[in-house]
Chains A and B, each alone.
Chain A
Amino acid sequence: GAVVSQHPSWVICKSGTSVKIECRSLDFQATTMFWYRQFPKQSLMLMATSNEGSKATYEQGVEKDKFLINHASLTLSTLTVTSAHPEDSSFYICSAPRDISNQPQHFGDGTRLSIL
């Protein structure tokens, strides 16, 4: 069964709206979670690292004021796309590693965000 749950799976909203995406680890605690973005027919690009109890770490070129990340608990990280515009339309995916070496990261099912 799924070990990482992501919600919602699909969002369509108007330009200027803020959208919150949730990522939950289901049967383990994740002090770190990762947020990726995938454009059509391209690779997954890391946006930011979500850290429980501290600020998120953003990759170069990612606007931290646009993409707000909150690691509210050891099982929940949220990504809020603020004042979304059509260019923010994309597929957003989270992953959570277990705090055990040489264990694969599992991914959520992703969120397709469409901004009209």
Chain B
Amino acid sequence: DQQVKQNSPSLSVQEGRISILNCDYTNSMFDYFLWYKKYPAEGPTFLISISSIKDKNEDGRFTVFLNKSAKHLSLHIVPSQPGDSAVYFCAASYQGGSEKLVFGKGTKLTVNP
């Protein structure tokens, strides 16, 4: 039973344009959501997070949107840069992130120059 789903295994965008990565979850008990960026053979690097009491969180070029009624969140990267090319994992947690993380399968983003 996959509780966190990233249905797009890959995404390709042009440099300067917007990248939108999507994530759906099934467990309404999740209250904290995170996006991580990962390169092969490296640990995930934290990008941005959002608490379930909010619907938007912004940090520089990265914005995460949360739609609790739809159990959907998205990560927007604007403008996209070639250095953003990596695998992006959506993760969800309980109790404000102090519990284990449940990860999606990841979306490989390629930003073309």
Contact = CB atoms under 8 A, between A and B. Distances in A.
Interface residues of B, number: 25
A97 B98 contact: yes
B41 A101 contact: no
A6 B104 CA distance: 23
Interface string B98-109: 111111111000
Contacts of A46: 100-102
B105 A43 contact: yes
Interface string A1-39: 000101000000000000000000000000010100000
Given A42-B105, A44-B103, A104-B49, A93 B97 contact: no
Contact of A107 (B43, B93, B95, B104): B43
B105 A109 contact: no
A105 B43 contact: no
Given A93-B44, A109-B43, A110-B41, A104 B100 contact: no
A99 B97 CA distance: 9
A67 B84 CA distance: 35
Q: Which one of A45, A103, A105, A108 has the greatest number of beta carbons of chain B within 10 Å?
A: A105
B49 A102 contact: yes
A112 B104 CA distance: 21
Majority secondary structure of chain B interface residues (helix, strand, loop or mixed): mixed
Interface in B23-77: 32, 34, 36, 41-46, 49, 51
Contacts of B36: 107
A1 B102 CA distance: 25
B103 A43 contact: yes
Q: Which one of A34, A91, A100, A101 has the greatest number of beta carbons of chain B within 10 Å?
A: A101
A43 B98 CA distance: 20
B96 interface: yes
A105 B96 CA distance: 10
7 contacts: A46-B102, A97-B98, A100-B98, A101-B98, A105-B101, A107-B46, A108-B43
Interface of B: 32, 34, 36, 41-46, 49, 51, 89, 93, 95-106
